[in-house]
Amino acid sequence: MPKLAAFPKAYMQALCKDGTMKVEEWIRLAAKLDIDGLEWYAGFLEMEDQSNWPKFRKMVEDTGKVIPMMCCSPDFTHPDRVFRENEIQKQKNWIDMTHTLGGSYCRVLSGQKRPELSINEGVKLASESIMACIPYAEERGITLILENHYKDDFWEYPEFAQKMDVFCQLVDSIQHPNFGVNYDPSNTFLAGEDPLELLAKVSHRVVSMHASDRYLKYGTIEDLQKEEGGAVGYAKRLSHGEIGKGLNDYDAIFTELKSVGFDGWISIEDGVDGMDQLERSVLFLKNKIARYWP
């Protein structure tokens, strides 16, 4: 049966930029949720001090929860080899961070979709960089998870492998037991594509999932596909919403995941409108999990 984690989507600025929230505060808030773990973020300001890593692990485990997965954003498509090697070293540091926190999954990305980069060259650079990290991860019992991502908050360009065909090409280029997919259905809408179509292509490689939901503020999905698929900057037509009340068909998603034997972590990216919203999303997902994994 899948396990539920939560990610502090509403508090990223406070935890990562201005320091107005401490990690301990987020742990206390999340401890009240009926979930199994907390997804971590490598960019929390307090994670710069390595002595905090085991302290935060103990804080979380003292609440009866664990830290199963790490969210980080390597940029592997830069044309400069020295830049990529530095990103590989950063990824290895995040793998160490994940290991110290007791986690088993550490995210990787492809990198930025720079205008001068061809598809084949970008896939080659990202694939080589990810594969350079896999032995290091394997030694520490960590699985690298590639997310169908939209854009890191601090990137100039969107994700190189944002589009389905590129993402699948990159996934297919890496065959290793310590590598898999972190599936995010909402990000597929930001690419102007169908999340169920993507899931059908990669479900056998999915080892973890981000659960969120989006709703259209105006217009239609067809409008989104025509006007905003792959645009720099977040799609104006889409907004975060409570899970189960947006565009995603969680019955179809869980039917497919169940059919391929998925039993990994599902991390909730929600709560932008408060902890009450996050609690409702937890309840929605727990009910769905109980239905599809009785």
Sign of CA dihedral 271, 274, 280, 282: positive
pLDDT value of position 150: 86
Residue bearing tokens 């987020």: 26
What is the CA angle 185-237-116, rounded to 5? Answer: 75
Residue 273 phi, psi (nearest 5): -105, 15
Across 201-226, average pLDDT: 82
* Mean pLDDT confidence for 271-291: 93
pLDDT in tens, 164-196: 999 999 999 999 999 999 999 999 987 889 999
> Vertex 286, ends 283 and 288: CA angle to 5°?
110
Mean pLDDT of the chain: 93
Amino acid at 257: L
pLDDT band at 153 (very low <50, low <70, confident <90, very high): confident
The residue among 81 and 192 whose pLDDT is bigger is 81
Are the C-beta atoms of 237 and 225 separated by less than 8 Å? no
Helices 275-292 and 250-259, packing angle to 10 deg: 50
What percentage of the chain carries pLDDT values higher than 90?
81
Residue 230: its pLDDT value, please?
Answer: 47
**Rounded (10°) CA dihedral 171, 173, 178, 179:** -10
User: Which is nearest to 6 in space by CA: 284, 282, 230, 283?
Assistant: 282
Q: What is the mean pLDDT of residues 27-43?
A: 97
Distances (CA, A) of 129 to 78, 87, 159: 11, 8, 15
Per mean pLDDT, which range of 145-154, 169-178, 233-242, 256-265 is the poorest? Answer: 233-242
DSSP category for residue 219: S
